[in-house]
C-alpha cells in the first residue's frame, strides 16, 4: 500500500546519512551525534536479531551460547560502523580456563569487568565467552524486545527489593555453575564509572560470595578507560581500545571469612591494570600515549607483552576507598550476610534451562 514511499524515503535517508558522515569528519558534535545514532540503531536492530537467535538456538540445543552469538554479532556489525576496535591481551587466560574443565565441557568461572558506560556493550561483544549469560533486575523483564530476549536466553530476573529472593537466585546460580559449567559475568562496581581518570568504584561483594560458594575461580577482565573517545556528552570518536584478561584467581580453600580480602585484592589488581593500559587522565603524570591509526595497529597475535611505555599513575585514592569500604562491610562468617546492595544490577548469570541441553 505504501510501496510508493519506499524509494523516496530510502533516497532521503541515504542522502541524510551520507551528509552526516561527511560532516562528522570535520565537526566533533556532528560526529558524536552520528556515531551515537549508528550505535543506538544497531543496538535496536540487534535486539530483534537477538530474539530470532534465541528461538533458533533453543531449538537447536545451543541455548547456553545465545548471548555469545548475539554479542559477537553486535560487535562485528557495530565496530566497523563507528570505527572503534578492541585488541585483547591475555585472552588465553579466559579461553584456556573455560575449555579446560572436566570431561572436556569447560570450567565455569565468575568473570568480573569494569563498567564505564552503555558503550561497554561493545567491549562485551568482543570478549563475552560461550556458556555465560545474564542476571537482570526484575523490571527489565517487561522491557520491549530486551525483556523477551532475556527470557528466551534463560536470564534470571532478580527482585532486588526482596533480599531473600535475591539470595535464593544466587544460590541457584551457584548450583547451575557447578552442574552445567556455566560462567557468570559481573560488573562488581554495581554502577557506571565514566571518568577522565582511570579508576574504579568500591566493589560490591555478591560476585565474590558466589565464587567462593560455588568453588570456582575469579577471572578479572579490564577494559581500557575510554573517556578520551566517549565522554557521554559531546564526544564519541574513532579509535582502538585494549582489553586485558588477567590470570584466574583461585578460590580453593576459601570460605565466607575470605570474601572481603578476595574482593579487595581483585579490585587492586584491576585498578593497577586499568592505569597501566589507559592513557593518563588530567590528574595523571606524563603525556598521554599515542594511539596508532586503525590501519597501522598490530594484530592481537603481534602484541605480545604489555607496552613498556604504559605506567600506572601514582594516585592511590581508589585503593584507599576500597580499604575503607571493606572495613565497613566485615563478614559475619555466614553466606546470608549478603545485603540488597550487593545484588548488582549488572551481574551476569544463566538460569538453569528446563529439559536437556545439548552443547
Sheet holding 239-245: strands in order across? 84-89, 239-245, 218-223, 110-113, 183-186, 132-133
pLDDT bin (cut points 50, 70, 90) of residue 169 is confident
Q: What does DSSP assign to residue 354?
A: S
Residue 154 in grid coordinates:
534463560
Q: Where do the DSSP E strands lie in the chain? A: 84-89, 110-113, 132-133, 135-137, 156-158, 183-186, 218-223, 239-245
Q: Which residues of 193-205 are buried (b: 16+ CB within 10 A; e: fewer)?
A: bbeebbbbbbbbb
Instruction: Report which DSSP code applies to 342.
Output: G
Within-domain flag for 253:
yes
Q: Is 13 a member of any domain?
A: yes
Q: What is the total count of domains within the chain? A: 1
Q: Of the spans 13-27, 104-118, 192-206, 213-227, which averages the highest pLDDT? A: 213-227
Name the one residue in this structure whose C-alpha cell is 594516585.
Answer: 315
Q: In the chain, pLDDT over 90 holds for what percent of residues?
A: 35
Q: Would you say 24 and 35 are in contact if contact means Cβ atoms under 8 Å apart?
A: yes
Q: Is 351 inside any structural domain?
A: no
- pLDDT (tens digit, 9 = 90+) per residue, 45-88? 888 888 889 889 888 988 888 889 999 999 999 999 999 999 99
Q: What pLDDT does residue 119 have?
A: 93
Within-domain flag for 356: no
User: CA-to-CA distance for 192 and 73, rounded, in angstroms?
Assistant: 24
Q: Picking from 151-155, 280-284, 288-292, which range would have the lowest pLDDT averaged per residue?
A: 288-292
CATH of the domain at 49: 3.40.1130
pLDDT digits (tens, 9 = 90+) for 100-136: 554 555 688 999 999 999 999 999 999 999 888 776 6
Q: Which residue has the higher pLDDT, 17 or 113?
A: 113
What is the span of the domain harbouring residue 144?
Answer: 7-342
Whether 287 is covered by a domain: the verdict is yes
Query: What is the secondary structure of 57-120 as a DSSP string?
Result: HHHTT-GGGHHHHHHHHHHHHHHHHHTEEEEEESTHHHHHHHHSSGGGS----EEEE---STTH
Please report whether residue 133 resides in a domain. yes
Q: Is 250 domain-assigned?
A: yes
User: What is the band of 258 on the pLDDT scale with cuts at 50, 70, 90?
Assistant: very high
Question: What is the distance, to the nearest Å, from the Cα of residue 169 to the centroid of all Cα atoms in its chain?
Answer: 20
pLDDT in tens, 304-340: 444 444 444 434 443 344 444 444 444 444 444 444 3
> In this structure, is residue 89 part of a structural domain?
yes
Residues in the chain: 359
The mean pLDDT value for 17-36 works out to: 75
Amino acid at each position: 500500500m505504501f510501496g510508493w514511499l519506499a524509494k523516496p524515503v530510502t533516497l532521503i535517508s541515504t542522502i541524510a546519512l551520507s551528509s552526516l558522515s561527511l560532516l562528522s569528519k570535520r565537526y566533533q558534535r556532528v560526529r558524536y551525534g552520528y556515531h551515537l545514532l549508528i550505535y543506538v540503531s544497531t543496538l535496536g536492530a540487534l535486539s530483534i536479531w537477538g530474539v530470532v537467535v534465541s528461538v533458533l538456538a533453543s531449538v537447536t540445543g545451543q541455548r547456553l551460547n545465545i548471548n555469545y552469538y548475539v554479542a559477537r554479532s553486535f560487535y562485528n556489525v557495530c565496530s566497523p560502523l563507528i570505527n572503534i576496535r578492541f585488541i585483547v591481551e591475555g585472552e588465553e587466560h579466559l579461553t584456556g580456563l573455560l575449555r579446560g574443565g572436566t570431561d572436556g565441557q569447560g570450567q565455569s568461572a565468575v568473570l568480573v569487568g569494569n563498567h564505564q558506560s552503555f558503550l561497554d556493550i561493545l567491549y562485551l561483544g568482543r570478549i563475552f565467552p560461550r556458556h555465560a549469560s545474564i542476571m537482570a533486575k526484575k523490571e527489565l523483564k517487561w522491557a520491549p524486545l530486551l525483556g523477551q530476549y532475556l527470557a528466551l536466553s534463560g536470564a534470571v530476573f532478580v527482585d532486588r527489593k526482596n533480599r531473600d529472593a535475591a539470595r535464593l537466585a544466587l544460590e541457584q546460580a551457584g548450583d547451575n555453575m557447578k552442574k552445567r559449567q556455566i560462567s557468570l559475568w559481573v560488573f562488581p562496581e554495581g554502577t557506571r564509572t565514566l571518568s577522565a581518570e582511570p579508576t574504579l568504584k568500591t566493589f560490591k561483594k555478591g560476585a565474590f560470595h558466589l565464587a567462593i560458594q560455588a568453588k570456582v575461580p575469579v577471572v578479572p577482565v579490564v577494559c581500557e578507560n575510554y573517556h578520551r573517545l566517549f565522554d557521554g556528552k559531546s564526544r564519541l570518536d574513532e579509535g582502538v581500545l585494549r582489553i586485558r584478561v588477567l590470570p584466574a584467581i583461585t578460590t580453593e580453600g576459601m570460605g565466607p571469612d575470605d570474601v572481603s580480602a578476595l574482593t579487595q585484592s581483585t579490585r587492586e589488581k584491576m585498578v593497577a591494570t586499568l592505569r597501566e593500559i589507559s592513557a593518563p587522565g588530567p590528574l595523571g603524570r606524563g603525556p598521554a600515549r599515542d594511539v596508532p591509526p586503525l590501519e597501522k595497529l598490530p594484530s592481537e597475535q603481534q602484541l605480545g607483552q604489555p607496552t613498556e611505555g604504559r605506567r600506572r599513575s601514582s594516585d592511590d585514592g581508589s585503593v584507599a576507598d576500597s580499604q575503607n569500604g571493606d572495613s565497613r562491610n566485615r563478614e559475619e562468617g555466614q553466606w546470608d550476610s549478603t545485603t540488597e546492595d550487593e545484588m548488582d544490577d549488572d551481574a551476569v548469570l544463566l538460569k538453569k534451562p528446563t529439559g536437556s541441553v545439548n552443547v
